[in-house]
Structure 1
């Protein structure tokens, strides 16, 4: 008998037109009660079900997990509209949808400590979320994050808006994609163009075979993403984050999104300059962007689980299989 219960929720998106599909993982026993909740924010061009293994590990240690398919992703849109986000208001909708999910899950599971876990695009969403709705957050794990010059993000945002004006916000621009995801593919060349994600060929093959992954973003999508990165990497926005929220930044040493660790450490330093009192960084040698899906991903999940338990006042070995 499965010891994990998985439930589906539907929420109206702040974009005014989408219906967000969310999942909640919890213990299957009738008397199971979470010690905390962990809200997963997935990355660009993927979906929340890719975090099933992580969710099961966390639930096994008493932590409920929730997460949604963002607008333009997974089951929150029609397949033809994957990657399509509003050019104006899209960044805000991404963040506000996460807040709506947090409130809904609190109604279901009760008032327990609430953590964020954002990967890649989700890490930038989490950073902006902390600056806008950070009160009461017990801690945040930022996976596969980085640091982009704010001026570069705003320039990219202006270019994306110009493409939207000329070709429409749903237009798939080779120029924008080449400056975005294409830059990471060039940093780690390979036959699929997705080798930058992982050194594990099986993981790359599964990503390529998944129709819910790897789709190109629209011009509107890039307008939303660049607005998020501009805010997340801004000292002014970082100073809005409550200073008592513990942060854990995890990344692969060969991840081009985090500039092979340099951008991750810069993000941590930005948080410290902004006043954060508890910031940890773990850089994993031999791993690329999707550290949870590398061959050694179980050890990363164990480290994250141990950190979450430590924030709850526990000290325990939570490596996978313990």
Structure 2
């Protein structure tokens, strides 16, 4: 069964587009997939089907400024004016809708890349509503975010918040191909598979190659600042199980360092964290043919262990 849902965003402007995928079997839990910067939730169809086959309901939406939500509202790259918690609050609204339809089931989050940052923000505020979280392709200190924030804030104060300056995007993310050798598309850092790179670049629902407003980029930097250090980790319920995964050739995770940085913050504040770093793989470990089944089975094993 498939439910298509639409709800008003926290930004008081957009109608967020979402989906609830229900297996043809008695569900044992719910997983909400939270996608990353510039992409959309249907890039996770392989994972969605895998989770459904394991008797989990799967919920997902396209963030404001992204995917079908951006198409329906004509707001590509524009996240609105309500600040960096917008996407997190939208994910909580989706959870509320799902739980109204399917109450009293264990509820998990899976967040990749920016989705992992949103998941961490969510866990700090609403973690007591969750059974567990998986964060994938995450990082501790996002390289250059502090300097980018200063420049972006200056542009916003000058009335340029709704403009899109490619220099800001390049400064914030342009370094990510530094270990990729020959670069022709600019997204080679996501995965070493040229097919995945081209599929990502050609996807009509993909906002990664579309301009992002200065305000949205600033909100991204503020999101990162809010989930840094033990001061963030202390807000996450200590009893919440956490699975932290990524690739050691992922620039977002600083080639493993940022992944362990997050786990160490959580360990230092008394949390239980399982950390798995896949050697030789870039950002989208769930899109490598060689390991995507293993990655998904690891997430399922983590959730099943929580349920048992």
TM-score range, shorter chain: over 0.9
Partner of residue 208, structure 1: 201
1:6 equivalenced with 2:2 (yes/no): yes
- Contact 1:250 1:282 (C-alpha < 8 Å) held by counterparts: yes
Runs of at least 5 residues in structure 2 that lack an aligned partner in the other structure? none
Show the 5 A alignment for 1:147-186: 147-148=140-141, 153-166=145-158, 168-186=160-178
- Paired with 2:264 and 2:22, the residues of 1 have a C-alpha distance of 35
- Contact 1:199 1:288 (C-alpha < 8 Å) held by counterparts: yes
Show the 5 A alignment for 1:16-165: 16-27=12-23, 29=24, 32-78=25-71, 81-86=75-80, 88-148=81-141, 153-165=145-157
Partner of residue 317, structure 1: none
1:192 equivalenced with 2:185 (yes/no): yes
Q: State the TM-score, normalized to the length of structure 2.
A: 0.93
Q: State the TM-score, normalized to the length of structure 1.
A: 0.90
Q: Partner of 1:135: helix, strand, or coil?
A: helix
CA shift digits 1:162-200 (9 cap, x unpaired): 222335222222221112221213443511111100011
- Paired with 2:17 and 2:162, the residues of 1 have a C-alpha distance of 21
Q: Partner of 2:128: helix, strand, or coil?
A: coil
Runs of at least 5 residues in structure 1 that lack an aligned partner in the other structure? 314-322
- How many corresponding residue pairs? 303
Regions of 4+ moved over 4 Å: none
- Paired with 1:83 and 1:90, the residues of 2 have a C-alpha distance of 14
- Paired with 2:26 and 2:15, the residues of 1 have a C-alpha distance of 28
